[in-house]
Copies of this chain bind each other. A is one copy, B any other.
Amino acid sequence: MPTLWLDIEYEGTEFKGWARQPGLRTVQGELESALATILGEEVTLSVAGRTDAGVHAWGQVASLTIASPPPPDLARRVNAVGPDDVAVTAASPVRAGFDARRDALSRTYCYRVLARGSPSPFERERALWWPHPIDRDALAACATAIVGSHDFTAFTPTQTEHMRFERNVLRAEWVERARAEQEGGIICFWIEADAFMRNMVRILVGTMLDVAGGRRTVSAFTRLLEGAPREEAGETAPPHGLHLASVSY
């Protein structure tokens, strides 16, 4: 029973998120369907980071166990039959028992903000346009406060599936740099943690933007990390700025 590791990229705009749902176009649904076509058997993917509708992935990881050895050019074949807003960038054999979700040590997300007065046609679906004043020192201070083990109850919806609200954040920082070919304007919130709760990055970003605009202080933000209720935090930033950047094993 070969086990496979898939590296996956997707542009989340036209997907109703990762998880397969009857009647909805999802990344898992599209990939499992393309894999079944190529492999000639039904498959079920285990994924490192389930993403919501509109969220993108640069470095998603999924695993599957199949009955027969796969063709050597599996990734190419899956990309040829699948839609073009998702791509398998690599498909490799991995040890039996490997599970992309259970074995992941950490996930890294990047939330992109377009911080300038005019919108950008190129960033419409990939960054939150924020034409408001931004106190970058305040953002940096919030990010510093996030690092470590905290109770993130304030940063996930109240009606939630989670049983415990503590998460260990290994890295959190705002990074500003020029886009590869265009000049600046994009600031990114990078966060790596052992695991994330639903909407956690998006509520963190929405709340930090309150601080960046002077509507909330850094110390008030910091106190939210001690198990404050959801209603004390800010709004949930929209999904299209969020990217699952990578997964560590």
A122 within 8 A of B: yes
Task: Judge if A89 is at the interface, Cβ distance under 8 Å.
Answer: yes
Given the known interface contacts A58-B181, A181-B110, A243-B181, the answer about A10 and B121 at a Cβ–Cβ threshold of 8 Å is: yes
Query: What is the size category of the interface that chain A forms with chain B?
Result: 35 or more
- A178 beta carbon closer than 8 Å to chain B: yes
Contact A79 B181, CB 8 Å, known A84-B124, A124-B84: no
A70-112 Cβ-contact flags toward B at 8 Å (1 or 0): 0000011001000011111110000000000000000000101
| Residues of A127-176 whose CB lies within 8 A of B | none
- When chains A and B are docked, how far (Å) is the Cα of A131 from the Cα of B121? 27
* Count of chain copies: 2
Min C-beta distance of A120 to chain B, whole Å: 6
Flag whether A119 is at the interface (Cβ < 8 A). yes
Known: A177-B180, A179-B180. Is A87-B186 also a contact (CB below 8 A)?
no
Q: CA–CA, A204 to B244, complex, Å? A: 37
Please tell me if the beta carbons of A87 and B119 are within 8 angstroms of each other in the complex.
Answer: yes
Q: Which residue of B lies closest to A112 (CB)?
A: B181
- The residue in chain B whose Cβ has the minimal distance to the Cβ of A245 is B181
Q: Which residue of the partner chain, among B89, B119, B126, contacts A118 with CB atoms under 8 Å? A: B89
Residue of B nearest to A177 (CB): B180
CB contacts (< 8 Å) of A119 on chain B: these are: 79, 84, 87
Q: Which residues of chain B are within 8 angstroms of A110 by Cβ–Cβ distance?
A: 181
Chain B residues with CB below 8 A from A38, complex form: none
Give Cα distance in the complex from A110 to B178, angstroms: 16
Interface status of A11 (Cβ within 8 A of chain B): yes
Contact mask for chain A residues 195-218; partner B; CB cutoff 8 A; 1 contact, 0 none: 000000000000000000000000
B-facing residues in A1-51 (Cβ within 8 Å): 9-11
Residue of B nearest to A182 (CB): B58
Contacts of A85 on B, CB cut-off 8 Å?
Answer: 121, 124
Residues in B with CB closer than 8 Å to A69 are: none
Q: Would you list 13 pairs from A and B whose C-beta atoms are within 8 A, ordered by A residue?
A: A9-B121, A58-B182, A75-B117, A84-B119, A85-B121, A87-B118, A87-B120, A88-B118, A89-B118, A89-B120, A90-B118, A110-B181, A178-B180
A residues lining the B interface (CB < 8 Å): 9-11, 56, 58, 75-76, 79, 84-90, 110, 112, 116-122, 124, 126, 177-182, 186, 188, 243, 245
